[in-house]
Structure 1
Amino acid sequence: MLKSILLFFLFFPLLLISQNEKLSVEKLQQDLFVFKEIREKANSGIYKYRTKPQIDSIYSWAFSQIKQPKTLLDFYKIILKITDFEGSLHNDTTLPDDFQTKYSSGNVFFPYPVKLIENKLVINFQNSEIPLGSQILSINKIETYKLLKDFEKYYTTDGYNITGKSIGIGSSFAKYFEMEYGPQNKFTIEYFLPNKTKKLKKTIAAVSNEIRKQNFKNRHSLSLDSLQYSRAKNKYSFRIISKNTALLSVHTFVIGRNAKDKEHLVYKKYLDSCFDYLSKNNEIKNLIVDVRNNGGGTDPNDIVTFSYLAQKPYRENAFAYVNFQEIPFAEYLVYEETELQKKQEEKKDFEDELKEEFPKQEKGKYIQDEKFNQLLQPDKNNFKGQVYLLISPRIASAGSLFASLVTGNTNAIVIGEETMGGYFGHNGHTPIEYELPNTKIKTQFSIVNLEQDVPKKTNQIFGRGIIPDHEVKQTFEDFMQNRDIQMEYTLKLIE
């Protein structure tokens, strides 16, 4: 299996080269050309949301930006814009591993966690300098709307979705600021106090990365959003919350690596016991399924979970394909192995798997064999009452596939906010990673272009996340009181 790395905004790479060192136009153009060729040949999702003229246009823009030597960071930002423009949350472009820590060392970070509430950027930390809940208007004379627009490229989402970018803003605002505008010694902030309209100004000192991380761990909203930014110790739970209502929470689908994994089998047994109980208890007419923290995971956890809610036969995908059986531009691949012979074996194993799962070529696409996408049946203890599905911008990948199947193929009432993962499909399943020859920037994407087995619905829009039936967002007052307004709304709806 080719190397799969974690998203750079969660684990920022070490920096070893001077930020002021510039690379030649020739080297940058070569890397940009290689990047373009790789994505056109290997990335089956390159034209999923953008037309060929649109993709050609952004590359024309990118080449126009490197008429003169540039620093690695400046070139990296150009590559990030292209990566984000394609529209896949599985796209991941990272700086080279050996790029210098010097860039991020010392007291250079914005000190306080922030959060987007009602399209306003507010302080999400109790402190003595700028009160909790204060609305940020500008930082170092850069207005908030520009900050947020500049930061969008650092966190990829499916299609044209921007709600999911709030997850990146919430977790990595200080890192984005440093990347975009350089290290800062201090920050001059213009802001409104909570529920006030008088503009105030204050200059605060920058802090180290260690203090930044500690402040984030102590953010005001921790009690509600802790599972959105870290792995849950209890990945799933089930409880009866009233005489007629039960709650199933599944915070992740990282529950074992495959169908034979012990952790997955334990999860399957747990679901069996929960839904066996529900099938025997006629009083429980309502089931709340909370996947608001679910950023994805592995098969078949998502599909198995859906089997307990399905009312008719279903498939994981309506259609899936890849662009190749033999890996293009293999000389730029990133391997798990280091020895040449083992690299060759790794490449061959990968290609053999592709040929088995995607054996038939049609119109330049290698189509998934039906044995890898069989017609599945609802579980014998499937729930037949009313389902309430809670969703949020955090939901992605396998999480959004599950939520799409529930939204499209059951009677579920969907409550919350638009997901970052698409309703109709995404690129996923199989990641591949390349390294550019001169800058050593790495780029990873998933190669399987899939359409999810969901019907067209009037409120679901191509290129967007799953749209809830009842949009329920946290207000400023809800934020200050840490109220779970979506759960409260659902319980009132049931009553």
Structure 2
Amino acid sequence: MTQFKIVFFLIFPFLLFSQNEKIPAEQLKQDLTIFRQIREKANSGVYKYRTKKQIDSIYNWAFSQLKNPREVMDFYKIILKITDFEGSVHNTTTLPDAYKNRYASEKVFFPLPVKLIENKMIVNFKNDEIPLGSQIFSINGTTINKIVRSFYKYYTTDGYNTSGKVIGINAVFARYYEMEYGPKEKFLVEYSLPNQTEKLSKSINSIANDERKERFKNRHSFPSDSLFYSKIKEKYSFKIFSKNTALLTVHTFAIGDNAEDKEHIAYRKYLDSCFQMLSVHPEIKNLIVDVRNNGGGSDPNDLVTFSYLTQKTYRENKSAYINFQKIPFLPYFVYEETETEKKLEEKNDFEAELKEEYPILKGKIHSQDPKFNRVLQPDKNTFKGQVYLLISPRVASAGSLFASLVAGKTNAIVIGEETMGGYYGHNGHTPIEYELPNTKIKTQFSIVNLEQDVPKKSNQIFGRGVIPDYKISQTFDDFMQNRDAQMEYTLKLIEKK
């Protein structure tokens, strides 16, 4: 299972067409036709959350937008809407490499880091223009609600989930604004001061991209959300919180690529030592498992971790299937290798692996070999006390699979906010990428349609992430104080029990 990564869409020109050049409508229609053909042939998740009628409808809309020549950026936004509509956190559609230096030094970006708190857009940077904690109502006459909705297509999530989109919006609000509304020299902002209702207006100047990045690094909320966006150095930890409570934190499952990897073996030994200790200290009746920063990683890190939290046998998935054994649309396939001979070798190796794991064709190509989805046993040192699972919108891919197993197959109490990764399943494991011939837009998706081995639950809606038993979100006061509301709530809940 590939690790979910935050994708900051970098846009920027050079060779085939100038920045503002319009592409003939027929070329755009050709790219859109190829885009659809590729996805319907190769992407097993196209109809996971959408009916044929719904997919037909959005493509009819897309083609209706291509009656005249359009710039690549306009076409890109159309493609993004389709990509997002499918509903997979592993869908990524990016602009051509030729765009990589656009606005490298020009001052065109919104100058203030912001954060969505309780569905309000809050200034997330100490500055002399619009104070930290102020609420923004509109920018250049467009309401903040409309702006936020227009950004949804830039950041994909599983199914119908929208909570996870906040992760991208908070990180690159200024980048998304430039992409959606164009470069600006000034911004007219309607806002109110912290804890006040009177609306004020101020015109503020744009900033360059380097300063945008620097301001985000120095955002007010850094102490409480740094691991959402930074490279994770300490991937996991364990500590005793009190005489009856322990805390296991797993920030990522990118802990080695497979069961033979040295990093995975070290992690497994670490887990075993922690749970051996818990098994000889029965007075520790509560275990908090914090995966709020966990955007994914590789098997079997997620499954091994779960083995210490369950008393029953389990599997990763109920079913897994793909749409092809031979790579379709090879002229548009993006290889990792560059030499012709190595490309052929890459293709043959990839297809051989697919045929080994997915040999059974029944309309779709299923994996039924037990060695790829075997029944797993709980560890002998499995924890038998009360588990409290902390989740957030950042949780996806292998992180959300783990959270789904814990929420669905144990008595854990789940606290926090809905994950962006699906509860019942997702598309994952094997990413592939294609490039459209005329616009050079690239599109990547994972080809394995996975139904996770979790039970139906009344609070779990198809197409949504893991829903917490106790929804605890950061309040405005929590934000201003950089307080960990979810951890505080969990400790109080344990104290009451």
Is the 2:289–2:388 contact (alpha carbons within 8 Å) kept by the matching residues of 1? yes
1:25 equivalenced with 2:22 (yes/no): no
Is the 1:478–1:485 contact (alpha carbons within 8 Å) kept by the matching residues of 2? yes
The alpha carbon displacement at 1:182 in A equals: 0.9
Instruction: Give the TM-score, by structure 2 length.
Output: 0.97
Partner of 2:92: 92
Partner of 2:59: 59
The alpha carbon displacement at 1:100 in A equals: 5.2
The alpha carbon displacement at 1:104 in A equals: 4.7
Partner of 1:236: 236
The alpha carbon displacement at 1:256 in A equals: 1.0
Is the 1:325–1:351 contact (alpha carbons within 8 Å) kept by the matching residues of 2? yes
SS at match of 1:407: helix
Distance in 1, Cα, partners of 2:198 & 2:362? 63
Distance in 2, Cα, partners of 1:100 & 1:279? 54
Distance in 1, Cα, partners of 2:332 & 2:367? 25
1:9 equivalenced with 2:14 (yes/no): no
1:17-64 C-alpha deviation (Å, 9 max, x unpaired): 533110001110000000000000000000000000000100000000
1:258 equivalenced with 2:258 (yes/no): yes
The alpha carbon displacement at 1:118 in A equals: 0.6
Distance in 2, Cα, partners of 1:433 & 1:28? 19
Partner of 1:446: 446
1:138-188 C-alpha deviation (Å, 9 max, x unpaired): 111111011001000000000000000000111110100010111111111
Alignment of structure 1 residues 348-363 onto 2, 5 Å:
348-363=348-363
1:105-155 C-alpha deviation (Å, 9 max, x unpaired): 411111111100010011011111101111111111111011001000000
SS at match of 1:395: coil
Partner of 1:320: 320
1:354-377 C-alpha deviation (Å, 9 max, x unpaired): 000000111233334222000000
Distance in 2, Cα, partners of 1:282 & 1:382? 12
Partner of 1:426: 426
Code of the aligned partner of 2:426? H
Distance in 2, Cα, partners of 1:8 & 1:454? 26
Is the 2:3–2:254 contact (alpha carbons within 8 Å) kept by the matching residues of 1? no
Partner of 1:207: 207
Is the 1:361–1:367 contact (alpha carbons within 8 Å) kept by the matching residues of 2? no
Distance in 1, Cα, partners of 2:371 & 2:303? 15
Distance in 2, Cα, partners of 1:48 & 1:145? 28
Partner of 1:45: 45
Partner of 1:137: 137
Distance in 2, Cα, partners of 1:100 & 1:320? 37
Distance in 2, Cα, partners of 1:119 & 1:5? 28
Distance in 1, Cα, partners of 2:348 & 2:160? 36
Is the 1:424–1:462 contact (alpha carbons within 8 Å) kept by the matching residues of 2? yes
Distance in 2, Cα, partners of 1:468 & 1:290? 13
Is the 1:9–1:172 contact (alpha carbons within 8 Å) kept by the matching residues of 2? no
Partner of 2:180: 180
Q: Root-mean-square deviation (CA), in Å?
A: 1.3
Code of the aligned partner of 1:292? R
Distance in 1, Cα, partners of 2:12 & 2:250? 33
Code of the aligned partner of 1:405? L
Is the 2:9–2:94 contact (alpha carbons within 8 Å) kept by the matching residues of 1? no
Partner of 2:274: 274
Is the 2:322–2:364 contact (alpha carbons within 8 Å) kept by the matching residues of 1? no
Is the 2:287–2:386 contact (alpha carbons within 8 Å) kept by the matching residues of 1? yes
Cα gap change, 1:209 to 1:6, in 2 (>3 Å): farther
Partner of 1:410: 410
The alpha carbon displacement at 1:102 in A equals: 3.3
Cα gap change, 1:293 to 1:287, in 2 (>3 Å): same
Cα gap change, 1:375 to 1:6, in 2 (>3 Å): closer
1:331 equivalenced with 2:324 (yes/no): no
Partner of 1:487: 487
SS at match of 1:257: coil
Is the 2:84–2:155 contact (alpha carbons within 8 Å) kept by the matching residues of 1? yes
The alpha carbon displacement at 1:11 in A equals: 5.9
Code of the aligned partner of 1:39? R
How many residue pairs get matched? 492
Distance in 2, Cα, partners of 1:407 & 1:164? 18
Alignment of structure 1 residues 98-247 onto 2, 5 Å:
98-99=98-99, 101-247=101-247
Distance in 2, Cα, partners of 1:293 & 1:481? 20
Distance in 2, Cα, partners of 1:64 & 1:11? 26
Is the 1:18–1:103 contact (alpha carbons within 8 Å) kept by the matching residues of 2? no
Partner of 1:309: 309
SS at match of 2:318: strand
The alpha carbon displacement at 1:294 in A equals: 0.3
SS at match of 2:59: helix
Distance in 2, Cα, partners of 1:363 & 1:102? 45
Q: Which runs of 5+ in 1 are unaligned?
A: none
Greater Cα shift, 278-287 or 101-110: 101-110
1:242-286 C-alpha deviation (Å, 9 max, x unpaired): 000000000011111111111111111110110000001111000
1:62-84 C-alpha deviation (Å, 9 max, x unpaired): 00000000000000000000000
The alpha carbon displacement at 1:5 in A equals: 11
Code of the aligned partner of 2:442? K
Distance in 2, Cα, partners of 1:74 & 1:22? 9
The alpha carbon displacement at 1:10 in A equals: 2.7
Distance in 2, Cα, partners of 1:27 & 1:432? 23
Instruction: Give the TM-score, by structure 1 length.
Output: 0.97
SS at match of 2:37: helix
Is the 1:113–1:124 contact (alpha carbons within 8 Å) kept by the matching residues of 2? yes
Cα gap change, 1:294 to 1:8, in 2 (>3 Å): closer
Alignment of structure 1 residues 372-383 onto 2, 5 Å:
372-383=372-383
Cα gap change, 1:15 to 1:271, in 2 (>3 Å): farther
Is the 1:114–1:123 contact (alpha carbons within 8 Å) kept by the matching residues of 2? yes
Cα gap change, 1:59 to 1:105, in 2 (>3 Å): farther
Distance in 2, Cα, partners of 1:174 & 1:195? 25
Distance in 2, Cα, partners of 1:310 & 1:142? 50
The alpha carbon displacement at 1:99 in A equals: 2.2
Is the 2:4–2:397 contact (alpha carbons within 8 Å) kept by the matching residues of 1? no
SS at match of 2:99: coil
The alpha carbon displacement at 1:7 in A equals: 5.8
Distance in 1, Cα, partners of 2:241 & 2:60? 57
Distance in 2, Cα, partners of 1:32 & 1:322? 23
